[in-house]
Amino acid sequence: MSEVENKQDNNATEPAAEEPIPGLIKSDGLINDFDSQLEVMQSDPNSPLYSVKSFDELGLKPELLKGVYAMGYNKPSKIQETALPVIINSNENLIAQSQSGTGKTAAFTLGMLNTVDTNLNAPQAICFSPTKELALQIFEVISNIGKFSSIKPLLYIPEVDLPNKIENQIIIGTPGKLFDGITRRKILTKHVKMIVLDEADFIVASRGMQQQIGSIKQFLPQNTKVCLFSATFSLGVDQLISAMVPDPKVSLRIKRLDLSVDKIHQYYIDCDSESNKAIILSDIYGYISVGQSIVFAHTIETAKKLAEMMRADGHSISLLYGKDLSTEERFKQIKDFKEGRTKVLITTNVLARGIDILQVSLVINYDIPLDENSRPDPVSYLHRVGRVGRFGRSGVAISFVHDESSKKKLNAISEHLGRQIKELKSTEIESLDGILKGLKDLTPLAK
Ligand SMILES: Nc1ncnc2c1ncn2[C@@H]1O[C@H](COP(=O)(O)OP(=O)(O)OP(=O)(O)O)[C@@H](O)[C@H]1O
């Protein structure tokens, strides 16, 4: 069966040690001071990383502030500066949108941690994540930022059992498991003060997950604060969202044309034929020597075939898809990649959202992202390419096209996003290593 993973299914990870980021390496080979570049970006009012306040002014508890600084964060980003006061100081529901990689996860994890009463050993904040990998990543961010507090989060995903008595104040899980735990009253909800939906547009657009969350709401205290976070909220989900979250405070909402992260160089390669795509992929990896990369394929079959080919070429590969792989295997694949044991991660859309691996400098759309009806999917495109360009870093995204139909589809995505995607000729592939190192740029940054 040809399995198309247009949707993320049920179901990443620890912040990897920061490595030199390609694109921030000067031509003399010395590494630019990323902190000083970040400082410049954070002083630009047009940047999503800009803020006027410091973390000290956001009303965080001292032990959390200590955690923030231990993470190496100096200043909040715009979304952190605007969302955190709403979560901390008001009872309002919240919709928060900002480009991928601009610190939404840190915003809502700090919000949950700050909301918890540490003298009460019962669930008080619940976070819904559409995938296991993302749930694990959020769990790890909470554990890290919260390491100076007594709060211990609980991860509840498939193949994990609940303890008999839940004393954890924060639970992070996939909607199906949380639905099960809450409706069977294994997770007591009477002290719950807030719920967070990460990748909220995806969750509400997915009928199964939406129903699960709808049912859970009946079990929550009436004044439970609902916070929705995502890089994308398309018009199609607006109505679903207003049904789920009446009268929300909107902390940041971005225009469609501003959704794309400026520092991602976006290219396409015309491969001429479907069969040439694998050859071009192999060529690319023959030339590039730096960084880690993610290759997105449309089907599990294609992902498996590419992994086999790349392994035969001698590359170290992680292969991750949603169906038929155990949680343990999925976590192993991504851990190997995050810890640098593999250089290339080949995956389906299951990993398009949220996964944060700073050393990834290249994303390849082996297949153009399509929605369930095989139409071009700009939202998936944005999330996929957003795996690079994290918090002000630069990166490269390349989409393969091979015929008139795929060209039209990519064009539709480019037009929808108001972004030019420049051609990289197949004869120019050898320049990619230079682009990735930031040594030379074939074309100006795609706007
Ligand atoms: N204030 C900050 N200063 C420096 N780095 C930060 C700050 N906030 C977050 N980061 C780092 O920036 C990276 C991206 O953050 P995060 O994963 O929270 O983005 P996101 O907006 O949730 O992304 P996505 O839309 O892909 O889910 C992470 O590695 C995180 O540790």
> What DSSP assignment string belongs to 332-391?
HHHHHHHTTS-SEEEE-GGGSSS---TTEEEEEESS--B-TTS-B-HHHHHHHHTTSSGG
| CB 109 less than 6 A from any atom of ligand 1 | no
Query: How open is the CA angle 38-231-371, to the nearest 5 degrees?
Result: 135
> Residue 383's domain spans which residues?
261-437
Q: How far apart are the C-alpha atoms of 334 and 339, rounded to whole Å?
A: 8
Q: How many domains does the chain have?
A: 2
Same domain, 186 and 288: no
Q: Kindly state if the Cβ of 102 falls inside 6 Å of ligand 1.
A: yes
Ligand 1 atom closest to 107 (CA): 18
Pocket lining: 100 vs ligand 1, CB cutoff 6 Å? yes
**Are 246 and 177 members of one domain?**
yes
Q: Which residues lie closer than 8 Å to 258 by C-beta, 6 or more apart? A: 99
Q: Do 215 and 269 belong together in one domain? A: no
Q: Are 356 and 137 in contact (CB under 8 A)?
A: yes
Residue 98 CA, closest ligand 1 atom number: 21
> Which of 223, 243, 258 is the last residue before a domain boundary?
258
| Residue 137 alpha carbon, nearest atom of ligand 1 | 17
| 239 and 361 inside one domain | no
Asked if residue 17 belongs to a domain, the reply is: no
- Does 197 reside within a domain? yes
For ligand 1, atom 3, name the residue with the nearest CA: 73
In this predicted structure, what is the pLDDT of residue 34? 63
Q: Identify the pLDDT of residue 443.
A: 40
ipTM: 0.99
User: 97: Cβ below 6 Å to ligand 1?
Assistant: no
Which pLDDT score is estimated for 14? Answer: 29
Residue 347, ligand 1, Cβ within 6 A: no
Q: Is 201 in the pocket of ligand 1 (CB under 6 A)?
A: no
In a domain, 415, yes or no: yes
Last residue of a domain, one of 258, 285, 304: 258
Residue 190 counted as domain residue: yes
50 in any annotated domain: yes
Indicate the top mutation candidate among 13, 105, 360, 380 to test ligand 1's pocket, ranked by most ligand atoms within 8 A of CB: 105
Q: Specify the amino acid at residue 297.
A: A
| Shared-domain flag, residues 187 and 156 | yes
Ligand 1, atom 25: closest residue by C-alpha: 100
pLDDT means over runs of 10, the chain (447 residues):
38 33 34 62 71 88 97 93 91 90 96 97 97 96 98 94 94 96 95 96 88 90 93 79 78 71 89 95 90 95 97 95 90 95 95 92 97 92 93 92 97 93 89 73 38
Single out the residue in 230, 258, 286 at which a domain terminates. 258
In sequence order, the β-bridge partners of residue 275 are: none
Residues 359, 60: Cα–Cα separation, whole Å: 29
- Residue identifier of the C-alpha nearest atom 14 of ligand 1: 101
Same domain, yes or no: 289 and 161: no
Q: In which element (H, E) is residue 194 found?
A: strand 194-198
Our mutation pick for probing the ligand 1 site, out of 19, 40, 98, 356, counting the most ligand atoms within 8 A of Cβ, is 356
Question: Are 272 and 390 found together in one domain?
Answer: yes
Would residue 304 count as lying in a domain? yes
Same domain flag for 323 and 392: yes
CATH code of residue 192? 3.40.50.300
Indicate whether 238 belongs to any domain: yes
Amino acid at 358: L
Tokens of 47: 């940047």
230 lines ligand 1 (CB under 6 A): no
**Are 273 and 177 found together in one domain?**
no
Q: Is residue 202 a contact partner of residue 190, using CB atoms and an 8 Å limit? A: no
Q: Which of 289, 324, 329, 424 is nearest to 133 (CA)?
A: 329
Residues 175 and 280 in one domain: no
Residues 150 and 234 occupy one common structural domain:
yes
Pair 221, 272 in one domain: no
What is residue 256's predicted lDDT score, i.e. its pLDDT?
Answer: 67
